């Protein structure tokens, strides 16, 4: 196998392309797209997002200390892209994208995206300035999950939602199931 050596860069792909809703204490809200997000800790449940200080949403998060990570589906791909390339300083992205803000369960200033199958309500615990971005580490206060994805056994079948990922400038739907956690060491039934 032959490989090229490239300059250092962020190449952990695919990455989730999530819509982050945010707001300030004056009632201003916005949506923006983040691919730099992920889990931090299981107990207590914590996640992170990284945001450039030049983004309009940065000031909203700084003011309220709250945000929601809204998972995106194939049906939300256009909105995810739009919210990543247009600024909330110039327009109401909720209206432009035809998205519906709904009340959060535990947050005071930030709505969830109704059309998203999963809304992860977050309160900033800490932050770290890391060059071009500020990384917000947040406690997960509540998760809203769409009943449409509960199967007959009450299991949340998120794989049926048509989630998307972002990879080096492109959006992709998830492919076929390749295995389940622990399948490589699970004993085969006789």
Look at residue 175 in the predicted model and tell me its pLDDT: 75
In the chain, what are the domains? 15-173 (2.30.110.10)
Give the mean pLDDT of 31-35: 96
Closest by Cα among 139, 140, 60, 141 to 93: 60
Asked whether residue 189 carries a pLDDT value surpassing 80, the answer given is no
| Distance in angstroms (rounded) separating the CA atoms of residues 120 and 97 | 20
Number of H helices, E strands in the chain: 3, 12
Mean pLDDT of the chain: 94
* Alpha carbon distance 88, 178 (integer Å): 39
**Is the model's pLDDT at 190 over the cut of 80?**
no
Cβ atoms of 107 and 124 closer than 8 Å: no
The CA distance from 158 to 146, in Å, is: 9
CB 133 within 8 A of CB 34: no
Tell me how far apart the alpha carbons of residues 128 and 116 are, in angstroms, rounded to a whole number: 28
119-160 pLDDT per residue, tens: 999 999 999 999 999 999 999 999 999 999 999 998 999 989
Residue 164 and residue 173 in contact, taking contact as beta carbons nearer than 8 Å: yes
Closest CA relative to residue 123, chosen from 68, 187, 52: 68
Separation CA 59–CA 52 (nearest Å): 10
């Amino acid at each position: 196998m032959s490989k090229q050596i490239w300059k250092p860069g962020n190449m952990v792909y695919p990455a989730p392309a999530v819509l982050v809703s945010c707001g300030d204490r004056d009632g201003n809200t916005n949506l923006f797209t983040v691919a730099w997000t992920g889990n931090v800790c299981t107990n207590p449940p914590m996640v992170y997002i990284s945001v450039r200080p030049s983004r309009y949403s940065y000031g909203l998060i700084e003011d309220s200390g709250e945000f929601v990570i809204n998972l995106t589906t194939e049906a939300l791909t256009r909105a995810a892209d739009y919210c990543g390339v247009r600024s909330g300083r110039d327009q109401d992205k909720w209206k432009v994208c035809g998205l519906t803000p709904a009340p959060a369960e535990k947050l005071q200033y930030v709505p969830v995206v109704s059309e998203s199958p999963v809304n992860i309500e977050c309160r900033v615990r800490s932050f770290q300035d890391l060059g071009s971005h500020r990384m917000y580490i947040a406690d997960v206060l509540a998760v809203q999950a769409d009943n449409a994805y509960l199967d007959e056994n009450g299991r949340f079948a998120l794989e049926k939602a048509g989630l998307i990922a972002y990879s080096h400038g492109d959006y992709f739907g998830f492919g076929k199931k390749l295995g389940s956690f622990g399948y490589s060491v699970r004993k085969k039934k006789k």
